[in-house]
Structure 1
Amino acid sequence: MSGLEIALGAFLGTQLLESKYLIKDDIMLIQKVVRSALPYLYRSNHGRASYWYYFEQAALKYGNRKAVCFPRPVANSEEPPLDADGFPIYDTQFQIEEYTYKQLYDMVLRMSYIMKYEYGITSEHTIGIDCMNKPLFLVLWLALWNIGALPAFLNFNTKDKPLIHCISIANVSQVFIDPDCADPIRETEDKIKQELPNVKLNYLDEEKLFDRLSRKSTPKHRAKDETRRPQDKDSSPAALIYTSGTTGLPKAGIMSWRKAFMASIFFGYIMKVNKDSNVLTAMPLYHSTAAMLGVCPSLITGACVTLSQKFSASTFWTQARLSKATHVQYVGEVCRFLLHAQYHPDQVRHSVKIAYGNGLRRDIWGQFKKRFHIEAIGEFYAATESPIATTNIQYGEFGIGACRKYGSLINLFLRYQQTIVKMDPEDENEIWRDPKTGFCVRAGPDEPGELLMRILNPKKIEETFQGYYGNKKATSSKLITNVYSKGDAWFRSGDLLKMDSDGLLFFVDRLGDTFRWKSENVSATEVENELMGSNAIKQSVVVGVQVPQHEGRACFAVVEPVDEIDDQTVLTKIRDHVVHSLPNYAQPQFIKIARNNEIESSHNHKVSKNQFKKQKLPRGESGEEVIYWLNKTRYEQLDDQSWASICSGKAKL
């Protein structure tokens, strides 16, 4: 063998080892952590924990660079024109708005003046933002950070009791409302005034407001540093982002300054967001994926963030092309919608190199990259309230489907910070403990278990895990102690994951009573409570069921009706009630009417949901069950033809 062949073999062998063990990547990431984290910790302990200072620094440094791009939808009832090959030209459906860092910074300072002197907002207030994806959201958000107030990102789909709950638990004093999504608040306004009379609802005129913000004659207000909560530490709340859970109503997850910083610097670094990047997100800004992993990494590095007001599978790639996006965000459902959409030339005429998000299924991972000419997938695992996230930036073949992929050095460190524990074989929702030691047991390779994350200082848990705003009970429910040693404390993810022999981490399923549908978390308990409000049933069980060719789990309700009410009356009453009390994604897609005590209770009067979680559709295991499905506005019997239409996508859930 020649010297050249030996050298080539050695080089290829080194490359193969590096692709698997990622030593170089680990070292570079560790260097990034050390160079960035230590200065931040110092500044955060000297009155500068706020992200505001980093945004301001970027705005002053990158003044003339593009900060925000917004393909504003144009109100046009006409069908788009066709090109020479017969494909729709969607360009005319959008008017591109762009703002430089200087323009954005000036608008934020002017909005800060308006908020402070016309609305009386100070750093002591919690302020609700009820807004769609648009520059208005960013201006409101950053102005509150300038003043030092705490923004609460309201889900604009929420209405009725859940909306009142969201405002109440966070002690929101005012809500700024985007006119394009004001209907749910208007529908609930009378109840808000009755139950929360001190809360001010500020319906905005977006056009007039932005005209005012663009005028040099409008005064600016850059808050003095000593008024911007200088007592804040890195663990202090930066924003409140609502998440569903097993308590039945949304909880206000605390997004700390540390998490905003880590998302900006480390997550952005891993996903290769830099000053030349343009990150397109169609994910709602009221979720942490878009807000903390899309906006924050962009505006701290001099990149541009492109806001899509609403996800559209048909125009997504057109917006990517028009905005010159280099990155796009996704959730698994979005990837499926895009793959099922008809071919359009814009899907290969864009500049996107990296797609990042969570929930991309392993079986369509490669197909997604190939069809849309994506170089890399950035899959991550996280939760709004979680103290840490995992990431995988995947280029070649290694790591497909994983939500965590690091090298051997970082994996060695994370072995002591993250763990997967065995579950009770008799109850998959309970962690198993060794009866001899009383401690938990680490799951083996490829064995599903609950992911836990270590609390660094069990005596000061709030420094690692801030939990839920004003809800100590819900916060404590996410903690588990004495896992591997007496006195230790860990955060419970509430999710089943598994790790293979290479240290790759894979998401398996969700635990408990929360499931995901249409990119939203659905609380089974909340749906069950609302079903009782129909006055048509005695009790109900709600679970998420899998539907072929659909991401997540659809809402399936088993209901026991009150006596002497026929099935159709029950279904009509349920529909009439939930359409006003639950957002679309939480409304039952399938209903089974249970009679003759089909809903069994245990000795402690708890209903076992396991009997329904593996519900077989369309007619149950026996093939004789009657199940109803929500066909647009009414529940109809689910037969083979309807089921085929649902599975093929012809009938929309």
Structure 2
Amino acid sequence: MYVLFTLLAGLAILPFLVYIRFPYFLHDLRYILSGIRLSTRIGIYSSRKPCYTILDRFLDRVKRHPHKKFIIFENDVYTYQDADRQSNKVARSLSQHAELQEGDVVALFLGNEPAYVWLWLALAKLGCVPALINYNIRTKSLLHCFSCCNAKVLIAAAELKDAVLEVLPALKEQNVSVFILSKDCDTGDMESLADKIEKASDEPLSPAPKTNLTIKSPAMYIYTSGTTGLPKAAIINHQRAWLASCMQTLAGVRADDIIYVYLPLYHTAGFLMGLTGAIDQGITVVLRRKFSASQFWNDCRKHNVTVIQYIGEIMRYLCNTPKKDTDRTHKVRLAIGNGIRGDTWSEFLQRFGNIHICECYGATEGNTGFVNYVGKVGATGRVLPLLKKAVPFALIKYDTERGEPVRDSKGFCVEVPTGEAGLLVAKITKTAPFTGYANNSQQTEKKRLRDVFEKGDQYFNSGDLLKMDEEGFIYFQDRIGDTFRWKGENVATTEVTDVLVMLDFIEEANVYGVKVPGHEGRIGMASIKLTEGMEFNCSATHEHVKAYLPSYARPRFIRMQSSLDVTGTYKQMKVKLAEEGFDPSVTDEAMYFLEENEGYIPMTKDIYNAITEGSRRL
């Protein structure tokens, strides 16, 4: 009897002992089982001839629940069946007027609206590949997007017609057909499309042959900024599209959820983790043109939203809104995203209630990623030994001054100890490939690190500094190189530099990102050397950057220097300048601040204090 009692007592306290030794055991087990199920599912999709795509998933959803709400946009509601029929009309119009063939690339240049979804579905039905272009870019960058993915057709929103007109002669030289989403068009080299769609039948076309379609075939191109200063077209094949879409499953999204998508559809987060992830789950999407802090919770309450997406800045904006008695009056239970700071994370939960935040890490073109499925505040993911074996990665020592990894006496990279920040690199293998950038072998090669730990190996260079603690939680630290992130967008310093030196009074420019207290990422700053005998023109500089750069890429601070320091290999020195930041007391030379309504004005200590204290918004 005593032995039996002892045995039962031991069994009773066993879960407690397991919890003490392995506090995240159940979380880990659930995540591993989910990962195995998803891998098996994608393996089945891959084995089909042709492979099973997200379009196929959508069509299955249409058959399963045709009358379920799919898209809620402003005052309009579209069911899964409505979306199917609308995309049929678009497909018929493009088939007739754009003469598209299977495999052709079509560039989409528009903001968040249902037409974006119909266009993508239509192109998938025609066997074409969409290129999702950032609607903020202009001129040189916009043209570059066509050359790197060989787009045959451009479809643009009516409100972006002027941006298209700026590059229309060059587009015609490349034989690009241009369609504007309006019912009429008075420009001879463009065609209207909305009127053609309106007249088209909503009956389905004969299915595209898809004879050569595999899981490795391109599903779309998503553009990412890089050190070249011009957008690069990351090749998203069907496998990568599925992996990103399945993020909702890993985060715990259910079939009865309603997701709020306001992040731009030209981004991986908005399109794959948001839209196509919702299709995979068969759920309803509340689509909004742009983020609005003042309307965010009103939208959530109005549409019974249960899942939201975010980037770090969004959470901070929400926390900065005036407090209300209704802050916890909503049905949101899950937030999926990346880039939230630990202090903002805690403040958000305290104010808006028990919302599970699923922070994740990944790059559009990268071959690895992490998920903080536990919900530990501040961490961007959790690393299991099993995961590291399946997809090998490492955090290696990086010399920020030299701009390269530290190597030992044998020429191999050196891993950082636990708790120290290092450059994330992920081994390129068959199971974790790096597909690179379309028609850009030079930039593709730059992202490959060779002979990292042994001769002949290859690793993907993430360009990000991360650190890992003893429990296996991983934390984002910073970005390296010539790209920084501000307001959820990547800013290429060389692109901004090229724009600045177009001004005749600027001889040289060194662009970098600087930290601002209370803000995620880094804000743009430029140190410039003036052309001899010329003065800095505040208004001309303001008008120039407004014309050539999106708002998030415009330098908010400009520092004058008599000469710009370079390394022995003539690389610009950025680290010291970035550390000194925008404090006018660090230099005797002039410094300017970009006040959006006034232009560049002299930087003062009062402005500096107001920014660092948070009383002046950026």
State if a TM-score over 0.5 links the two structures: yes
* 1:471-530 CA-partner distances (Å, limit 9, x unpaired): 011111111122122221111101111111111111110010100111110000000001
Q: How many residue pairs were aligned?
A: 604
Against the structure 1 CA distance between its residues 253 and 530, is the aligned structure 2 distance closer, same or farther, given a 3 Å change threshold? Answer: same
What corresponds to 2:54 in structure 1?
51
What corresponds to 1:172 in structure 2?
151
Deviates more, 1:514-523 or 1:374-383: 374-383
Q: Distance in 2 between matches of 1:238 and 1:425?
A: 36
What corresponds to 1:193 in structure 2?
169
Query: Does 2:490 align with 1:521?
Result: yes
Identity of aligned residues (%): 29
What corresponds to 1:339 in structure 2?
319
What corresponds to 2:571 in structure 1?
606
Q: Distance in 2 between matches of 1:283 and 1:532?
A: 32
CA contact (8 A) 1:273 1:303 kept: no
What corresponds to 1:83 in structure 2?
none
Q: Distance in 2 between matches of 1:549 and 1:23?
A: 32
CA contact (8 A) 1:273 1:297 kept: no
Partner amino acid, structure 2, of 1:540: A
Q: Distance in 2 between matches of 1:453 and 1:223?
A: 42
Q: Distance in 2 between matches of 1:211 and 1:326?
A: 37
TM-score (normalizing by structure 1) = 0.87
CA contact (8 A) 2:93 2:196 kept: no
* 1:113-137 CA-partner distances (Å, limit 9, x unpaired): 1111133222232111112112111
* 1:151-191 CA-partner distances (Å, limit 9, x unpaired): 01111111121111112322222221223x41xx5145143
Residue 454 of structure 1: how far off its partner (Å): 1.4
What corresponds to 1:510 in structure 2?
479
1:13 aligned residue (17, 26, 40): 17
TM-score (normalizing by structure 2) = 0.92
What corresponds to 1:82 in structure 2?
none
* 1:572-611 CA-partner distances (Å, limit 9, x unpaired): 332222111111111110001112x2x1223333222223
CA contact (8 A) 1:177 1:202 kept: yes
Query: Does 2:617 align with 1:652?
Result: yes
CA contact (8 A) 1:136 1:206 kept: no
Query: Does 2:421 align with 1:442?
Result: no
CA contact (8 A) 1:627 1:638 kept: yes
What corresponds to 1:88 in structure 2?
none
CA contact (8 A) 1:424 1:432 kept: yes
* 1:207-262 CA-partner distances (Å, limit 9, x unpaired): 998898688x7242334241x3x313222211111111101111111111111111
Q: Distance in 1 between matches of 2:144 and 2:421?
A: 35
What corresponds to 2:557 in structure 1?
590
Q: Distance in 1 between matches of 2:299 and 2:165?
A: 35
Against the structure 1 CA distance between its residues 606 and 405, is the aligned structure 2 distance closer, same or farther, given a 3 Å change threshold? Answer: closer
CA contact (8 A) 1:141 1:151 kept: yes
What corresponds to 1:115 in structure 2?
94
Residue 391 of structure 1: how far off its partner (Å): 1.0
CA contact (8 A) 2:141 2:230 kept: yes
* 1:9-58 CA-partner distances (Å, limit 9, x unpaired): 43333344453244422442243134313212212xx2225322122112
Against the structure 1 CA distance between its residues 649 and 135, is the aligned structure 2 distance closer, same or farther, given a 3 Å change threshold? Answer: farther
* 1:605-628 CA-partner distances (Å, limit 9, x unpaired): 322222312123321435x44311
CA contact (8 A) 1:281 1:306 kept: yes
Against the structure 1 CA distance between its residues 20 and 492, is the aligned structure 2 distance closer, same or farther, given a 3 Å change threshold? Answer: same
CA contact (8 A) 1:49 1:232 kept: no
What corresponds to 2:389 in structure 1?
413
What are the within-5 Å matches in structure 2 for residues 422-441 of structure 1? 422-424=397-399, 427=402, 429-435=403-409, 437-441=410-414
What corresponds to 2:207 in structure 1?
224
What corresponds to 2:294 in structure 1?
314
CA contact (8 A) 1:376 1:394 kept: no
Residue 195 of structure 1: how far off its partner (Å): 5.3
Q: Distance in 1 between matches of 2:52 and 2:11?
A: 51
2:133 aligned residue (141, 148, 154): 154
Against the structure 1 CA distance between its residues 586 and 100, is the aligned structure 2 distance closer, same or farther, given a 3 Å change threshold? Answer: same
Query: Does 2:491 align with 1:487?
Result: no
Q: Distance in 2 between matches of 1:425 and 1:329?
A: 33
Partner amino acid, structure 1, of 2:465: L
What corresponds to 1:234 in structure 2?
215
What corresponds to 1:566 in structure 2?
535
Give secondary structure in 2 for the equivalent of 1:378: strand
What are the within-5 Å matches in structure 2 for residues 261-300 of structure 1? 261-265=242-246, 267-300=247-280
Partner amino acid, structure 1, of 2:423: E
Q: Distance in 1 between matches of 2:287 and 2:444?
A: 32
What corresponds to 2:189 in structure 1?
none
What corresponds to 1:581 in structure 2?
548
Deviates more, 1:117-126 or 1:245-254: 117-126
* 1:78-111 CA-partner distances (Å, limit 9, x unpaired): xxxxxxxxxxxxxxxxx3x221111111111221
CA contact (8 A) 1:279 1:327 kept: yes
How well do the aligned residues superpose, as a CA RMSD in angstroms?
A: 2.5
Against the structure 1 CA distance between its residues 30 and 203, is the aligned structure 2 distance closer, same or farther, given a 3 Å change threshold? Answer: closer
Partner amino acid, structure 1, of 2:70: A
Q: Distance in 2 between matches of 1:346 and 1:142?
A: 38
CA contact (8 A) 1:318 1:346 kept: no
Partner amino acid, structure 1, of 2:522: R
CA contact (8 A) 1:420 1:451 kept: yes
CA contact (8 A) 2:584 2:608 kept: no
Against the structure 1 CA distance between its residues 67 and 210, is the aligned structure 2 distance closer, same or farther, given a 3 Å change threshold? Answer: farther
Give secondary structure in 1 for the equivalent of 2:24: helix
Q: Which has the higher contact order (CA 8 A, sep 6+)?
A: 1
Q: Distance in 2 between matches of 1:250 and 1:19?
A: 43
Against the structure 1 CA distance between its residues 211 and 374, is the aligned structure 2 distance closer, same or farther, given a 3 Å change threshold? Answer: farther
Partner amino acid, structure 2, of 1:238: A
CA contact (8 A) 2:35 2:250 kept: no
2:378 aligned residue (390, 394, 401): 401
Q: Distance in 2 between matches of 1:273 and 1:373?
A: 18
What are the within-5 Å matches in structure 2 for residues 471-482 of structure 1? 471-482=440-451
Partner amino acid, structure 1, of 2:415: R
1:465 aligned residue (422, 425, 434): 434
Against the structure 1 CA distance between its residues 123 and 412, is the aligned structure 2 distance closer, same or farther, given a 3 Å change threshold? Answer: closer
CA contact (8 A) 2:245 2:280 kept: yes
Residue 139 of structure 1: how far off its partner (Å): 0.7
Partner amino acid, structure 2, of 1:42: S
Q: Distance in 2 between matches of 1:286 and 1:477?
A: 24
Residue 356 of structure 1: how far off its partner (Å): 1.1
- What runs of 5+ residues in structure 2 fail to find an aligned partner? 185-191
Partner amino acid, structure 2, of 1:68: I
1:549 aligned residue (506, 510, 518): 518
1:247 aligned residue (195, 204, 228): 228
Partner amino acid, structure 2, of 1:577: H
CA contact (8 A) 2:106 2:131 kept: yes
CA contact (8 A) 1:147 1:223 kept: no
- What runs of 5+ residues in structure 1 fail to find an aligned partner? 73-94
Give secondary structure in 2 for the equivalent of 1:614: helix
